[in-house]
Amino acid sequence: MQLAQNWFRDWFNSPYYHQLYHYRDDNEANKFLNILISHLQAPQNAIMLDVACGRGRHAKALAAKGFDVTGIDIAPDSIAFAKQFESDHLHFYVHDMRLPFWINYYDYAFNFFTSFGYFRTEREHLNAIRTIAGALKENGVFVLDYINVDHVEKHLVPESKIEIDGVVFNIKRWFDEVHFYKRIMIEDSNINEHCEYTERIAKILPENFSVMFEKYGLHIQEMFGDYDLHEFDKKNSPRLIMVAKKMID
């Protein structure tokens, strides 16, 4: 099927995206980050980068813990919303993760809530990894939170319908050899509008990530399978959460 090359620019900048995923809220972010930061034992003076930060819910939670945090995202409206929360140690910028950002600056970089795998080519995915690796100091840590491909294939729900405040989301899901797709057809009775968006997520396995990471000096140290940081199980874990360290040979 034909899909807009940069479909994510419009969808992630749409108010319907945030309405559909409203359950991904500050409380959920805080719960996960409490567990993650405790596990990482991040020092209080750590400088952190939240890649594809959306409206900044994870970045805000990290800054509230006292860290210096920068959030970047390709969606201008999301960053405009996030900027209301800026402070001396919380900063937001519109930025495409495929393009270089600050170099050798951050102690930690994060990519949460499947905010990866959207691009058309492997080269673009590698460019994003290069950006993140380049932004980290030596021995810096990168945490990527992704889908577990095997689990999604096994538990895919082909169709669902959700109504939120007068907006109906009719959702169809399917996959092929290399991608998962989600078509969201929207009926908004508030303004008599009909529109649709299609998400496309690459099927990237742990071994694929390992190869991509190592091209840029990132070496996977740990893999977890859910937001409680239980051990990753390829067949049963709902998530793939990888902790990698930047090590220069």
Position 126 scores a pLDDT of 97
- The runs of H, that is alpha helices, within 21-170 are 26-40, 57-64, 76-82, 122-135, 149-155
What is the predicted pLDDT for the residue at 2?
42
- Are both 186 and 72 inside the same structural domain? no
Query: Is residue 134 a part of any domain in this protein?
Result: yes
Residue 67 lies in a domain: yes
Rounded to an integer, what distance in angstroms lies between the CA atom of residue 66 and that of residue 90? 10
Output the six-digit token pair for 3. Answer: 């899909």
Q: Do 137 and 44 fall within a single domain?
A: yes
- Contact between 93 and 72 under an 8 Å Cβ cutoff? The reply is yes
**Blockwise average pLDDT, block size 10, the chain, 249 residues:** 64 85 76 96 97 94 97 94 97 97 96 93 96 97 98 96 93 96 91 84 97 97 97 97 92
Domain of residue 166: give its range: 152-200
Does residue 232 share a domain with residue 165? Answer: no
CATH of the domain at 46: 3.40.50.150
Q: Is residue 1 part of a domain?
A: no
Residue 97 sits in the same domain as residue 196: no
Q: Of 200, 218, 234, which residue sits at a domain end? A: 200
Beta bridge partners of 167: 164, 188
Same domain for 185 and 68: no
pLDDT of residue 195: 87
pLDDT at 23: 66
The structure's pTM equals 0.91
CA distance 92 to 85: 9
- Looking at residue 156, its pLDDT comes to 96
What distance in Å separates the CA atoms of residue 190 and residue 16, rounded to the nearest whole number?
Answer: 13
88 shares its domain with 195: no
CB 55 within 8 A of CB 65: no
Pairing state of beta strands 106-111 and 167-175? unpaired
CA 64, 70, 76, 82: dihedral to nearest 10 degrees? 10
Using alpha carbons, select from 58, 78, 61 the residue that is nearest to residue 144: 58
The H or E element spanning position 214 is: helix 206-215
CB 158 within 8 A of CB 183: no
